[in-house]
C-alpha cells in the first residue's frame, strides 16, 4: 500500500533550454512533485524519521537544477525523478511536472511543460 505526498510550485530560476539565449539569460521554471510511499508507520509513531521530508525533496530538486544544464524539459524532469529515487529508498514512485511558462514560443500561451512518472526498479 502506498500513500501520495506532494510538493507544489517549486519556483526556480535556471539556464535550461535549447537556445543559446536561454542558457545565457535564464528563465523561470515551476516544478510540482508527487511521491508515493507507505506512510502508515510514520503516522502511527508520529515520527518524521519514518517518512521522506518535504525539505529534503525540495533540496534535491534545486540541486539537480543548479548542478546540470538541460536542453529539453523531458531531460530536466528525468534528472529530477532519478535523483529523488536514488536519494530516497522509501519512495516507490515519483511524478515530476516541470512547467516552463516563459518558453520561447511565437504565440500567446499560459504554460507549457512535461509530466513524467517513474517507479523504482
Distance CA 60, CA 82 (A): 10
Question: What cell was used for 69?
Answer: 544544464
DSSP state of 90: T
Catalytic site residue from 24, 86, 93, 100 = 100
How many helices (H) and strands (E) in the chain? 4, 4
Spatial CB neighbours of 54, under 8 Å, sequence gap ≥ 6: 5, 7
100 is catalytic: yes
DSSP H/E element including 23 = helix 20-25
Q: Which residues are catalytic?
A: 100
Amino acid at each position: 500500500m502506498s500513500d501520495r505526498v506532494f510538493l507544489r510550485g517549486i519556483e526556480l530560476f535556471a539556464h535550461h533550454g535549447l537556445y543559446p539565449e536561454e542558457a545565457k539569460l535564464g528563465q523561470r521554471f515551476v516544478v510540482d512533485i508527487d511521491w508515493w510511499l507507505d506512510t502508515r508507520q510514520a503516522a502511527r509513531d508520529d515520527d518524521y524519521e519514518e517518512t521522506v521530508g518535504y525539505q529534503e525533496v525540495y533540496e534535491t530538486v534545486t540541486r539537480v537544477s543548479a548542478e546540470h544544464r538541460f536542453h529539453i524539459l523531458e531531460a530536466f524532469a528525468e534528472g529530477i525523478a532519478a535523483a529523488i529515487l536514488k536519494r530516497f529508498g522509501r519512495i516507490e514512485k515519483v511524478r515530476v511536472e516541470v512547467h516552463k511558462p516563459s518558453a520561447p514560443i511565437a504565440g500567446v500561451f499560459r504554460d507549457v511543460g512535461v509530466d513524467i512518472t517513474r517507479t523504482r526498479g
